[in-house]
Amino acid sequence: MTVADIADVHEIERSSFPVPWPAYAFRQELEMNRLARYLLVTAGEETVAYGGLWLMLDEAHVTTFAVLPGWRRQGVGGRLMVALMDLAGELRASVVTLEVRLSNEAARGLYARFGFRPAGIRPRYYSDNGEDALIMTTDRLDAPDSRRRLEAMRQRYGGTADGTGATP
């Protein structure tokens, strides 16, 4: 993702979240946050999904993840998660964590397919309605079960170990 992609990403953000990040937050992430990495999924010329992570020590933390509503339930989120997991591996992260709304069963199901499991609750995490966030984390990425699961997800959703399938 580059600064030139912010308008498209912000459109996905606004259509996906009740309290979207402002566009300038993405600019700051790209230009000033050395911990941040963002990926896009495109279909032709259209940006249809994006995700970001921060590498903090040996942990990759998924900070944001969204698919344009018209592209949901078509494997786009899975392809993006493959690319984010591959990126975490390239950055030598040992685990990946994220927060998700307790009510977001579709996202929780996707993350579970990738080996994320509940690790805790952040009470009243979401400012729009005070909903709790479920903290989810993976097992070690270098564990044999984790490697097998990611390879199965590559087969299911596409992409390769070099991150092909999402635009860095």
Tokens for 3? 């600064």
pLDDT score recorded for residue 163: 45
The three-state secondary structure class of 167 is strand
Q: How many CB atoms lie within 10 A of CB 127?
A: 9
Is the distance from CB of 63 to CB of 36 less than 8 angstroms? yes
Active centre residues (catalytic): 99, 111
CA 108/CA 98 separation, integer angstroms: 10
Which mean pLDDT values do the consecutive 10-residue runs of the chain (168 residues) have? Answer: 97 95 96 97 96 97 97 96 97 98 96 98 96 98 97 88 46
pLDDT score recorded for residue 47: 97
Nearest-CA neighbor of 116 among 165, 62, 167, 161? 62
Tokens for 160? 């390769």
pLDDT score recorded for residue 23: 95
Q: What is the pTM of this model?
A: 0.92
Is the distance from CB of 130 to CB of 55 less than 8 angstroms? no
Q: How many CB atoms lie within 10 A of CB 115?
A: 21
pLDDT score recorded for residue 57: 95
Q: Which CATH class is domain 3-157?
A: alpha beta
